Amino acid sequence: MTVNAVTDASFAEVVLESEKPVVVDFWAAWCGPCRQIASSLEAIADEHGDKVTVVKLNIDENPETTAKYGVQSIPTLLIYSGGEVVHTVIGAKPKSALESELFGVVST
């Protein structure tokens, strides 16, 4: 499974209407810490894709959604369940810490 991109146009359908919890990685190509966590998010998507969907939203290309959710620092991970933000993770963290935070708020 790969981490797919979402846009302002596809956000509602892919994220808010999802049956599964969704982790949205707000990132930018110029962000070093964003690149650091990319492989961890790919691994989480591969290992836990049956329980959670992981997507990326480029903040430079999608300012509407970025502003709507008040994202001011990247990387920011917003975890959605039932169309609502249930948890926020700001900054680069190791895969184990990301999994711990993610599965601490998402029932598996």
Which residues are catalytically annotated?
Answer: 31, 34
Q: Shortest CA distance to 85 belongs to which of 40, 14, 41, 23? A: 23
Residue that is written with structure tokens 């709507």 in the block: 68
Backbone angles phi, psi at 61, to 5 degrees: -95, -10
Output the CA torsion sign for 21, 53, 4, 88: positive
The C-alpha atoms of residue 39 and residue 12 are separated, in whole angstroms, by 25
